[in-house]
Structure 1
Amino acid sequence: MADGAEVTVVGGGVVGLTSSLALAEAGHRVRCVRDVPAAETVSAVAGGLWFPYHVEPRDRVAAWGLTALEWFHSLAEVPAAGVALREGVMVERGTADRWWAAGVEGRREAAPSELPDGATGGVVCRVPLVTMAVHLAWLEDRCRAVGVELVDGRVDDVGDVESAVVVVAAGIRSAELLGDEGPQPSRGQVALLANPGLDRWVVDDDHPDGMVYALPHPGWVVCGGTDVLGSWDLEPDPGVHEAIVARVRSVVPELADAEVLGARVGLRPVAPSVRLQRSEVAGRTVVTNYGHGGAGVTLAWGCAQEVVGLVGGAAAP
């Protein structure tokens, strides 16, 4: 596929927008069609921490994640991008599984004083934390600046798209566009608390009372959470909300008196592996880019670079 192809990207979350931006910067003519605004996608609910959560396969995920890590490091110098480099601790309870940390510079063992009760260890590292409301708006602005046409609309079948190249990056809806067995929803509910000055994140996935994380942004802290595979329910559960707030306050004392601002729910698109490949469907080239689980933000730029190679006909990096 020669440079300058006409490409339609279906999906306007972080994966779709980043793919659109990368393709336009590579010289393609790009149209991004989204059925909901970026602010209403699951990407907007994400806590925004660089961490490859609930996603496979690990070898490819590690490579995509490191590419994205470099990109986010450069964007931390761009105030409008909403990216900050923040230190935090990944708590361990029992056997340590640190595959994700390979290539993360400056990581160290957590001191006992940095760990909650019952923890057996932890990794302290400084990684990107992305304020998604800001970052999604920045991505849209960058897309427009490089000539991406952002279109509000719904695509139900790739055969309905007129361009010769289609990139399917529609998250949980992606498979239905191809008549494929696609990602399953994993319901993630979070609580938003006012930020009392917290600047350090914590993730305690194996807390005995349920998953705990606190991801501080300017003005609020995204606190979680849940990971309920197979649930399509988008309504916040009041009981779950209260439990999340209680767990987080037990692990992060600084949030004990923080005002509760609300609750939000998003559906992670979980699949056996990220489906990032090229094929021919209905007489057109189709590149799929979905199934990122809880790591859409973490992998978006790394996967977008591979999308550029697939659209251009080059071997994937």
Structure 2
Amino acid sequence: MTTTGKIVIVGGGVTGLTTGVALLEAGLPVHLVAAEVPGPTSVAAGAMWGPYLVEPWSKVRPWSLVSLDTFRGLSGDPATGVRMVSGVEAARSAVSAPEWSTLLPDFRECSPGELPAGFEGGYRSTVPLIDMPVYLQYLLRRFREAGGTVQQQFVSSLDEIDDGSVIVNCAGLGAGELAADGSMRPIRGQHVVVKNPGITEFFSEDTGLSPDLVCIYPHGETVVLGGTAIDGEPSLREDPVAARAIVERCAEIDPRLAKAAIVAHRVGARPTRSEVRVEADVREDGVPLIHNYGHGGSGVTLSWGCAREIVGLLPS
């Protein structure tokens, strides 16, 4: 690795922190700048591994595999917030297995007895389930222990960064504005966190392009219930009507959730574009610039794969 000088990462969510860890552990000095660390959208994530409505598959597949392997390794340590959990993704009409099913060795079709009433088909698998508040604190510790430094500051322009030998744009939804990329758009997501009434397996409904999602992600003493996917909506304000509907939809799957005590509400805006952007660029003054954004609802799933690619994109 011949890059010299400090690398500045803009963005404090899962993408920025993971990229920072990968660069630091490759032996490079890293400084991270963001308004909030960890970023609110990453904190609000469910989060279950699985490439969700993200392209291009030719790149998403290897990125997802790198992350899957990394999460499997982390799942042995409770301090990471990562566990391998078995569960079901089901649909109310017949659907084909997703492209990513071939990445999981235990992926199989459900028997009728494994499906909730009203569902026509589904699949069972074991995947990483990530407790995001715990995981993000783990990443932040790992980042700092590797020598990374953090500055909490809102960045309105990449030209503000005047002390980096390389700049890495991992600013999530804000990355589009920083890169003058008009193709970026928010997809609002909301989750409700409740006390766990005894659920040990995840459940996810294949709802296609509907804004009303159904997902049940158990994290020990709590369960994250989802969710929403409202295209074009950037607001992070809690919607109590949407929250009630989320609980009701999930309680149809598991009636124990109807009376589960609500612990928290989480809202984020998925940074979405037609394809994930991971590529080298250059600022007008010649400073190398690398983009890593546009992961939509698959930021966690792609995080380690994209981070490893960023290391390979550094100028030699």
TM-score of the aligned structures, taking structure 1 as reference length: 0.94
Which residue is equivalent to 1:12? 12
Using the TM superposition, name which of 123-132 and 54-63 deviates more.
Answer: 54-63
Could you report, residue by residue, the CA deviation over 1:118-170 in whole angstroms, capped at 9, with x for unpaired residues?
22211111110011111100101001111111111122222221212000001
Tell me the CA shift for residue 312 of structure 1. Answer: 4.7
Q: Does 1:291 align with 2:294?
A: yes
Q: Partners in 1 of 2:256 and 2:315 — Cα distance?
A: 50
User: Does the CA-based 8 Å contact 2:173-2:184 persist in structure 1?
Assistant: yes
Q: Does 1:55 align with 2:63?
A: no
Which residue is equivalent to 2:114? 114
SS at match of 1:271: strand
AA aligned opposite 2:262: V
Trace 1:58-97 onto structure 2 (pairs within 5 A).
58-92=57-91, 93-97=93-97
User: Does the CA-based 8 Å contact 1:19-1:301 persist in structure 2?
Assistant: yes
Which residue is equivalent to 1:224? 226
Which residue is equivalent to 1:135? 135
Could you report, residue by residue, the CA deviation over 1:240-266 in whole angstroms, capped at 9, with x for unpaired residues?
111111110001233233112232211
Q: Partners in 1 of 2:211 and 2:121 — Cα distance?
A: 18
Q: Partners in 2 of 1:135 and 1:160 — Cα distance?
A: 30
SS at match of 2:236: coil
Tell me the CA shift for residue 224 of structure 1. Answer: 0.9
Using the TM superposition, name which of 140-149 and 158-167 deviates more.
Answer: 158-167
Q: Does 1:177 align with 2:178?
A: yes
Tell me the CA shift for residue 5 of structure 1. Answer: 4.1
Tell me the CA shift for residue 78 of structure 1. Answer: 1.8
AA aligned opposite 2:230: V
Which residue is equivalent to 1:159? 159
Tell me the CA shift for residue 238 of structure 1. Answer: 1.6
Q: CA RMSD in A?
A: 1.7
Q: Partners in 2 of 1:102 and 1:183 — Cα distance?
A: 30
Using the TM superposition, name which of 251-260 and 161-170 deviates more.
Answer: 251-260
Which residue is equivalent to 1:268? 270
Q: Does 1:301 align with 2:300?
A: no
- Identical amino acids, percent of aligned pairs: 38
User: Does the CA-based 8 Å contact 2:247-2:258 persist in structure 1?
Assistant: no
SS at match of 2:223: strand
AA aligned opposite 1:274: V
Q: Partners in 1 of 2:250 and 2:219 — Cα distance?
A: 16
User: Does the CA-based 8 Å contact 2:190-2:266 persist in structure 1?
Assistant: yes
Tell me the CA shift for residue 110 of structure 1. Answer: 1.1
Q: Partners in 1 of 2:308 and 2:61 — Cα distance?
A: 14
Count the aligned residue pairs.
Answer: 312
SS at match of 2:274: coil
Q: 1:279 aligns with which of 278, 281, 286?
A: 281
Cα distance change of structure 1 residues 210 and 34 upon mapping to structure 2, 3 Å threshold: closer
Tell me the CA shift for residue 6 of structure 1. Answer: 2.0
Tell me the CA shift for residue 3 of structure 1. Answer: 4.2
AA aligned opposite 1:62: R
Tell me the CA shift for residue 196 of structure 1. Answer: 1.5
Which residue is equivalent to 1:186? 187
- Structure 2 gaps, min length 5: none
Q: Partners in 2 of 1:312 and 1:74 — Cα distance?
A: 30
- Structure 1 gaps, min length 5: none
Which residue is equivalent to 2:213? 211
User: Does the CA-based 8 Å contact 2:295-2:302 persist in structure 1?
Assistant: yes
TM-score of the aligned structures, taking structure 2 as reference length: 0.94
Q: Partners in 1 of 2:256 and 2:105 — Cα distance?
A: 28
Could you report, residue by residue, the CA deviation over 1:17-69 in whole angstroms, capped at 9, with x for unpaired residues?
0000000111111001111121x520000001001113211221111111100
Which residue is equivalent to 1:44? 43
